[in-house]
Structure 1
Amino acid sequence: MSAQFGRRLRKGAVATTVAAAAVAALSASQAPGVSVDDNGRSTTADAQPTPDPVDDDGATGGSPFYMDLPPLNSPSPVPSAGSGGTGVTGTGEAGIPATVLDAYKKAAAALQESKPGCNLPWQLLAAIGKVESGQARGGRVDADGTTIGKILGPQLDGNGFALIPDTDHGVYDGNSTYDAAVGPMQFIPSTWEWAGRDGNDDGKKDPNNIYDAALAAGHYLCRNSWDLSVQADMNRAILSYNNSQDYLHTVLSWLEYYRKGTHEIPDGTGSLPGHRSDDNDPPSPSPSPTPPSTPGTPSTPGTPTTPSSPPPSDHPSTPGTPTPTPTPTPTDTVDHLEDAGTAKLTAQAGDTFSKRISTRAETSAGKAVGKVRIRFTIVGDTDTTFTGGESVATIVTNGSGVAVAPALKAGEKTGDFTVRVAVVGRAVAGLDYKATVTERVADTLARTSDTALTCTPGGEFADQVEVKATYDGAVADGVAATATLITSADDPTENTKGPYFKDADGKTVRTLKGLETDANGLLKLPKLYADDTTGTFLLRINTAGGASLTVELTVAAAAEPTESPSPSASPSA
């Protein structure tokens, strides 16, 4: 997300503008190696790699958040009944509603399995949930984890907040003019489109469901190969959720607080924050617990605004005074998208595409437009993703009007697919980029041993055939292969006599299909046996990509032992 300092007004929050700008500069996406001609047009986009870009609007679009800090008296971990040994005694602020707490822990467990290198602590989800919605408004959720009533932030119309025109036709936020953050983890619709997850396995991705939202937040925080056990990566992940130093400080405070201990409380009885980042008076740390709210009277992070009823202006126009025309945003000036030098997109299954998609936003006169959000969406029957495992990425154009998508990571499904590119918040013609995933291949096969392969008639070969596959000198793993005992060097048909393999039922087999090299490019064939036919035979191994190796097998009778001649009798005396 972009730094919201300068994009929205912050009342009462102490903004550290310099630090935020530095973080924004650190995480901003840049087109790798894009050179610009005299007309400002880019000429290439694939020179040197750059860090993976992040979504400029982040998870929340810079929506306001709760700034209440944890109590000064930290909880002490003490096992308590019904808490499974993880409960605490002490302040009520340490309590997290049961369903909400369960959602955080299940999401963290799922991420530990799918992205173990992220090291996501469930307490981080709890800290963000506290800051975003007061743990789903004190745990007001139904049995399935869906909030009782939608939690909506204010419409992001540029009036004190970021300007984000509608992207979901009001499906999630009920506003067909502007977007608003939705649900207990406060996702804006454009981010939910790619980050949304089905955390409770009901077949839906609902930002108002705490299980779905918590899992989505976990995946969001774990993108870009961040390791959250490293503080710098932890900070980057949190700032990508909402790019504010106050937000970072508040979330880290609650993270540390929850790490010291927490316990489960009934749904609907959680305490509610009282100070939002757009309030006039910033909060102070609470010296004592905040009493839980009475169920049925929750506060909401933001009051949804109906598109047809915009909020009243602080300075209403005088009758007869013409309303000033708003200054067009960069998005308003975009007329079309142009390819910015994207090369052919091809990769083997399992590999990272060496080229990135590069797109340029232009006005009708062909002038570059910077600071425009461009969405890249992978479509088609493919398991290819962008780096980080997502199928959608939103990137902001740089000063040359260029947005460069994250690198594509090929899956195992081969074939063609499309990456569709569009301008977020503006209905202009997009671009489609074709990409292809080819099967894994090898160009060289070699035996790992030079031992001669020999056998006696009716016996079995002492050594198994093992080969190593490479491609351009590198290990070729996961490459499909076949092995056939052929008739002759000039006749690759299957032989009907001589050495053979055995199938699971012990029957004779002279062709093996469906073989695959392992992670080290090695392929070890099953044992070989010989019938009663003697002679020299050939085993041919072929791989996808055209690598081929012919191995010689010898079946010969065992050599007869040579008898030593009897000594001649000595002549008699």
Structure 2
Amino acid sequence: MAAHFGRRLRKGAATTAVAAAAVAALSASQAPGVTVDGQGRQTSSDATPSPDDTVDSATGNSPYYTDLPPLNSPSPAPSTGAGEAVPGSAEAGIPATVLDAYKKAEAALREKKPGCNLPWQLLAAIGKVESGQARGGRVTADGTTVSPILGPQLDGNGFATIRDTDNGVYDGNSTYDHAVGPMQFIPSTWEWAGRDGNGDGRKDPNNIYDAALAAGHYLCRFGWDLSDQADLNKAILSYNNSTDYLNTVLSWLEYYRRGTHEIPDGTGALPGGRSDDTTTRPSPSAPGTSSPKPDPKPGKPSGSSPSPGPNAPDTGSPTTPPPSTDPTPTPPPTSTPTPTDTVHHLEDAGTERLTAMAGDAFTERISARAETETGKAVAKVRVRFTVVGDTDTTFTGGESVATVLTNSSGVAVAPALRAGEKTGEFTVRATVVGRAFPGLAYPVTVTERAADALVRTSEAELTCTPGGEFAEPVEVRATYDGAAADGVAATATLIKSADDPTVNDKGPYFKDADGRTIRTLSGLTTDENGLLKLPQLYADDTTGTFLLRITTAGGATLTVELTVAEATTTSPSPSETPST
């Protein structure tokens, strides 16, 4: 954090730096690293992040802006009313379109995942640290950045090594990945985390509405409650696994919570310091000491790249420092292979057929085993399970992706799947995070909701006079394996006979919305208790016994008798003879 203090003190905000240091100290005591347990949940750990951790974060642990909040309160308007700008007001303000995207994402998450308690100020804090609020709000009317925002090439040269995963579709590089867009997602994360936030039918990491909504869902996975400090820390660390990053985001979060204001798009202040800036500057010297040498190019941070042209991508990353003048080059350190490096393939670990009824939880869970080329198990490897295809089936918790650490036997067991309402077949793909081999594809089938039994809820006879109405409604209960079968499709038909299921053209009938006679009802659905109550039944002038047949998905059938007969009249009994 020393570099943080130096930059902020030069801006005359020593008090803010001290406050940030206090926040950092508090957060550091509450901010362990992030690992993944056997259930696919991220949990805390004090272990130092391994190289494998970098490819499982939203940004791939790419560089970020380290500027701290200004000293002045964010609440005042941008000017004092006398034409004089409030110091730091540009930093306090958030560009209008960017602010709107954050607030819309918060509203969407409040509806989809109310237990997450995502504040839009957290998105603003991350957006500030990742891209300076989309490079000061340089976005079009629909929220797309004027030029792409790219992080540095993740080629292992001071950063993680993440080889290309998108064939250059998002970052224009088919060799290595870059973090992309105002929220700096790496392509492999955007593949499953991307969302359409502005309703244009696309998931574009360079659109602030899409990126903000994706970031909100990313931070709300695993059932985290962001009103809880421990869960908040885990969520931020999962975005970029760095304690300094956590402290910087928390500082901006607290700042924005105290208030902010909207500023026009394109007028936001651009950040200066970055976490990958290896050039250190001394703090202002004390009286009586020599002053440091000025920057070689006043007006630009030392080591920063020149401003990009209007059509060039904004990388925001500094240029490589000049090579050392030491004539004896330092040999590169010898890298120790990680467990991920030793994985040659994945094997199915005994997963049975994956089939469930719509709305139900799958009883079988997917399991995969990481192995070396010789078939030896590899522990502590991240296996990512991704739901692929046109389906609304998700893992427990509502996510379409889960990352699980292999156990001592090399096996990773995915969280339980819960079927959505879309029926049909799709796949769940298992891959090793950080490796490029194909992985495994597990076929999954979701069948329609079904019932295997139907019974009436009343034993009363169903009778009516010609031309009248049946007083007793027809209500049935559907069950499957003895439990209430909710949401099951059903059809009710007045048939000619038990052996002839064709529609009867006389006798009892229903009415449609226009009052016309109909004798078949389709599109019926049982309620949450498995109950189905049919509409009012009427009778024409034909007398006799008629049959109503109700069938459901799954094959349950019930035939109900309906009687139409003239009303019977009862003759009074003769009166007794009076006694004499």
For this structure pair, what is the TM-score category when the shorter chain's length is used for normalisation? 0.7 to 0.9
Residue correspondence of structure 1 range 58-207 to structure 2 within 5 A: 58-76=57-75, 91-207=89-205
Match of 2:394 in 1: 385
Contact 1:151 1:184 in 2 (8 A): yes
Deviation, 1:210, is 1.6
Match of 1:550 in 2: 559
Q: How big is each residue's C-alpha offset from its partner over 1:268-327, in whole Å with a ceiling of 9 and x where there is no partner? A: 22123333334567999xxxxxxx99xx9699664388xxxx9888799958x9977754
Q: 2:507 pairs with 498, 501, 504, which one?
A: 498
TM (norm. structure 1) is 0.79
Match of 1:39 in 2: none
Q: CA RMSD in A?
A: 3.9
Q: How big is each residue's C-alpha offset from its partner over 1:179-214, in whole Å with a ceiling of 9 and x where there is no partner? A: 222221111111011112233344432222222211
Distance 1:566 1:399, change over 3 A: closer
Greater RCO (CA < 8 Å, at least 6 residues apart)? 1
Give the whole-Å Cα distance in 2 for the aligned partners of 1:200 and 1:260: 28
Distance 1:344 1:304, change over 3 A: farther
Q: Which residue identity does 1:475 align to in structure 2? A: A
Which of 105-114 and 340-349 deviates more?
105-114
Residue 190 of structure 2: SS of its match in structure 1? helix
Which of 53-62 and 101-110 deviates more?
53-62
Residue 183 of structure 1: SS of its match in structure 2? coil
Which of 475-484 and 367-376 deviates more?
367-376
Contact 1:370 1:401 in 2 (8 A): yes
Give the whole-Å Cα distance in 2 for the aligned partners of 1:529 and 1:79: 72
List alignment gaps of at least 5 residues for structure 2.
1-20, 45-52, 81-85, 284-298, 301-305
Give the whole-Å Cα distance in 2 for the aligned partners of 1:212 and 1:334: 34
Contact 1:69 1:283 in 2 (8 A): no
Residue correspondence of structure 1 range 3-18 to structure 2 within 5 A: none
* Alignment pair present for 1:57 and 2:56: yes
Contact 2:489 2:525 in 1 (8 A): yes
Contact 2:137 2:268 in 1 (8 A): yes
Match of 1:474 in 2: 483
Q: How big is each residue's C-alpha offset from its partner over 1:506-531, in whole Å with a ceiling of 9 and x where there is no partner? A: 33322222211122322110111122
* Alignment pair present for 1:563 and 2:572: yes
Q: 2:523 pairs with 501, 509, 514, which one?
A: 514
Match of 1:37 in 2: none
* Alignment pair present for 1:341 and 2:381: no
Contact 2:362 2:417 in 1 (8 A): yes
Residue 441 of structure 1: SS of its match in structure 2? coil
Match of 2:292 in 1: none
* Alignment pair present for 1:242 and 2:240: yes
Deviation, 1:366, is 0.5
Q: 1:367 pairs with 368, 376, 385, which one?
A: 376
Contact 1:384 1:411 in 2 (8 A): yes
Give the whole-Å Cα distance in 1 for the aligned partners of 2:318 and 2:431: 27
Contact 2:197 2:211 in 1 (8 A): yes
Residue 558 of structure 2: SS of its match in structure 1? strand
How many residue pairs were aligned?
520
Give the whole-Å Cα distance in 2 for the aligned partners of 1:419 and 1:15: 41
Give the whole-Å Cα distance in 2 for the aligned partners of 1:313 and 1:325: 21
Deviation, 1:416, is 1.9
* Alignment pair present for 1:431 and 2:440: yes
Give the whole-Å Cα distance in 2 for the aligned partners of 1:230 and 1:463: 55
Distance 1:247 1:493, change over 3 A: same
Deviation, 1:541, is 1.6
* Alignment pair present for 1:303 and 2:321: no
Distance 1:475 1:275, change over 3 A: farther
Deviation, 1:459, is 0.6
Contact 1:337 1:429 in 2 (8 A): no
Which of 225-234 and 362-371 deviates more?
225-234
Give the whole-Å Cα distance in 2 for the aligned partners of 1:61 and 1:479: 45
Contact 1:67 1:283 in 2 (8 A): no
Give the whole-Å Cα distance in 1 for the aligned partners of 2:156 and 2:323: 12
Residue correspondence of structure 1 range 218-257 to structure 2 within 5 A: 218-257=216-255
Match of 1:85 in 2: none
Distance 1:425 1:365, change over 3 A: same
Contact 1:418 1:434 in 2 (8 A): yes
Residue 187 of structure 1: SS of its match in structure 2? coil
Deviation, 1:147, is 2.5
Which of 244-253 and 357-366 deviates more?
244-253
Q: Which residue identity does 2:357 align to in structure 1? A: Q
Deviation, 1:569, is 8.5
Residue 356 of structure 2: SS of its match in structure 1? strand
Give the whole-Å Cα distance in 2 for the aligned partners of 1:399 and 1:314: 45
Contact 2:277 2:318 in 1 (8 A): no
Give the whole-Å Cα distance in 1 for the aligned partners of 2:554 and 2:115: 33
TM (norm. structure 2) is 0.78
Q: Which residue identity does 2:353 align to in structure 1? A: K
Deviation, 1:546, is 2.3
Residue 548 of structure 2: SS of its match in structure 1? strand
Give the whole-Å Cα distance in 2 for the aligned partners of 1:424 and 1:530: 67
